[in-house]
Amino acid sequence: MRRGVTRTSTGITVSIARDPALVRTVRLIAAAVARRASPDEEFVEEVRLAVGEACALMVGESASDAGPVTVRLALDTRLCVDVVAAGPVAMADSFDSDVDGVEPWALLRGLIDDLSIERDGDSTTLSMSWPVSAVA
Amino acid sequence: MTVFVRRVSRELGVDLSLETRHEGGQTIIEVGGEIDVYTAPKLRDKITELVGNGEYNLVIDMEKVDFLDSTGLGVLVGGLKKVRAHDGSMRLICNQERLLKIFRITGLAKVFVIHGSQADALAER
């Protein structure tokens, strides 16, 4: 964090329709929040990529009316991101579910140490977080 | 603060540009912008079209790519499979560390031949 700047707690919730075109918008917001946490562009890029991956997983490849995907970003001592969607989401890569053999879960797990996914009733929540002090 | 977003991003312009040219018996696709879950199908369609036209030696120039996710990686892997089915090749040009990191994390740095510049890619046919 830049000297002389006081970090205040930040919370933003974004809700998007299940339309792949909207994932970019969430990435832009995630990058803005990450930049508030740290001027380290490598960190900002990691958050942008991870949130984009998580959203893409939840949204799917084609637009649908299966309900919105909600992304909650909270910045305090950690940057915490929850991505919530109605319905089940595969919790691991399968042999033939992806486009051409690349595994989105492998990328997410390679990027983030603190990653979890929970199913609660009819909704699925993918959570991830980063220590802010470590990168500030 | 809560923000509701619906189809606004489409109005921000096309997020992916594709330019194709031929040089030294190879087809170079210069990709610009963001390759993600929304735009990756456009790149997949372009590769499919080229392979359908009998162009089996492709070079994907990613120097102007700002963002790449697993969907984009999937399209590249699919393209590689397509050209290899015709004994062709697909090589990448990428010198951005943030993109190279993605190839390393997913193990694809060992699958693709990745060059640092067009000159290198064309010289190592």
- Summarised one tens digit per residue, pLDDT across range B6-51 is 444 444 455 899 999 999 889 999 999 999 999 999 999 999 999 9
Chain B CA closest to residue A17: B6
A53 touches chain B (CB under 8 A): yes
Interface confidence: ipTM more than 0.90: no
The distance of A119 to chain B (nearest Cα, Å) reads: 23
Least Cα distance to A70 among A50, A52, A55 occurs for A55
Q: Residue B81: what residue type? A: K
Q: Which token pair is A46?
A: 């990691």
- CA atoms of A26 and A23, how far apart (whole Å): 5
- Summarised one tens digit per residue, pLDDT across range A68-118 is 999 999 998 899 999 999 876 666 655 554 445 556 777 888 889 899 988
Are residues A98 and B74, on separate chains, in Cβ contact within 8 Å? Answer: yes
B78 touches chain A (CB under 8 A): yes
Q: What is the pLDDT of residue A10?
A: 77
Whole-angstrom Cα Rg for chain A: 15
Compute the C-alpha angle A114/A46/A132, nearest 5°.
Answer: 60
Chain B residues near residue A19 by CB distance under 8 angstroms: 6-7
Chain A residues near residue B48 by CB distance under 8 angstroms: none
- CA atoms of A23 and A51, how far apart (whole Å): 9
Q: Is A62 helix (H, G, I), strand (E, B) or coil?
A: coil
Chain A CA closest to residue B80: A100
* Residue A1 in this model has a pLDDT that exceeds 70: no
- CA atoms of A50 and A34, how far apart (whole Å): 11
A59 touches chain B (CB under 8 A): yes
Least Cα distance to A75 among A47, A115, A111, A108 occurs for A47
Residues A58, A70 contacting (CB under 8 angstroms)? no
- CA atoms of A69 and A27, how far apart (whole Å): 13
Are residues A25 and B108, on separate chains, in Cβ contact within 8 Å? Answer: no
Chain A residues near residue B15 by CB distance under 8 angstroms: 24
Q: What is the pLDDT of residue A133?
A: 65
